[in-house]
């Protein structure tokens, strides 16, 4: 997917106190960076960041990291954070394919929200639920593995259920229409989700775990 390019995006995001400029220096030391032993959740492809910012606000006893490859996408997130005081939130500007260079076994939960549903075939490996990514996540999960995925894309959702179950994940909760569940699932909407919700599109959701 192509995103609008913002002039000097790199300079703008680097001024933010939330951006960790040299994330590789903190491998196995994220808890020290946060200054507490609270669990760490990571969102891959956070885009404009509303989800991870809201999560950090609502859950002061958990730590959150939003990772995004496109600096222009992150500009909105750093603008939103200008007047906030969230010591439990950090942002990283990098490719998710390199997460094992940045984290040791220190992540409790990975959020995959409306990730790009790359077509099958040549680009399939770019899908955040491709087996190569699931193997990568093994390197950074602390004890149990825990992935929460939301998407509007039925084909990508079906694909993800398949790759996750083939990788021995167990589904705690699955929804084919997150916003219309009889027993509501606690939820914080992402930027993309808000648009899809307004359009009345169903949102697919899975809470997948492997306790090992
Ligand atoms: C469709 S947007 C969803 C953004 C946000 N999660 C939301 O729901 O509003 C997908 C985001 O993933 C980012 N992305 C795609 N591939 C990535 C990668 N390999 N590493 C980090 N971010 C990536 C894109 O730049 C984009 O901002």
Q: What distance in angstroms lies between residue 38's CA and the mean position of ligand 1's atoms? A: 25
CATH of the domain at 140: 3.40.50.150
Query: What's the confidence (pLDDT) of residue 211?
Result: 80
The catalytic residue positions are 116
**Per-residue pLDDT, 3:** 79
- Total domains, the chain: 1
| Span 127-154, average pLDDT | 97
Predicted TM-score (pTM) of the model is 0.97
Question: Is the CB of 49 inside a 6 Å radius of any atom of ligand 1?
Answer: no
What is the domain extent for residue 117? 95-210
Residue 69 CB–ligand 1 contact under 6 Å? yes
Residue 179 lies in a domain: yes
191: left (phi over 0), alpha (psi -120 to 50) or beta: alpha
Determine which residue's CA is closest to atom 25 belonging to ligand 1. Answer: 70
Q: What is the mean pLDDT of the chain?
A: 96
Classify residue 150: in a domain, yes or no.
Answer: yes
Is 210 a residue whose pLDDT tops 70? yes
Which one, of 141, 46, 101, lies nearest residue 18 by Cα? 46
Q: Is 30 within a domain?
A: no
45 occurs within a structural domain: no
User: Model confidence over 24-58: pLDDT tens digits?
Assistant: 999 999 999 999 999 999 999 999 999 999 999 99
Is the shortest distance between the CB of 97 and ligand 1 below 6 Å? yes
- Is residue 134 situated within a structural domain? yes
Asked if residue 64 belongs to a domain, the reply is no
175 inside domain: yes
pLDDT digits (tens, 9 = 90+) for 74-87: 999 999 999 999 99
Residue 154 lies inside a defined structural domain of this protein: yes
């Amino acid at each position: 997917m192509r995103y609008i390019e913002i002039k000097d995006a790199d300079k703008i995001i680097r001024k933010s106190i939330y951006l960790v400029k040299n994330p590789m220096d903190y491998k196995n030391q994220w808890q020290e960076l946060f200054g507490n032993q609270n669990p760490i959740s990571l969102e891959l492809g956070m885009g404009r960041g509303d989800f991870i910012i809201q999560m950090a606000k609502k859950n002061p006893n958990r730590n959150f990291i939003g990772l995004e490859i496109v600096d222009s996408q992150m500009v909105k997130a750093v603008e939103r954070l200008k007047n906030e005081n969230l010591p439990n939130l950090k942002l990283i500007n990098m490719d998710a394919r390199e997460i094992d260079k940045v984290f040791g076994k220190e992540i409790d939960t990975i959020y995959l929200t409306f990730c790009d549903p790359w077509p099958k075939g040549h680009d399939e490996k770019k899908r955040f639920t491709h087996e190569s990514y699931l193997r990568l996540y093994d390197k950074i999960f602390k004890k149990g593995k825990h992935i929460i995925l939301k998407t509007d894309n039925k084909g990508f959702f079906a694909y993800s259920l398949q790759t996750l179950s083939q990788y021995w994940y167990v589904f705690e909760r699955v929804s084919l229409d997150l916003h219309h569940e009889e027993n509501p699932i606690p939820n914080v909407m992402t930027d993309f989700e808000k648009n899809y919700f307004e359009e009345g599109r169903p949102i697919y959701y899975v809470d997948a775990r492997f306790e090992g």
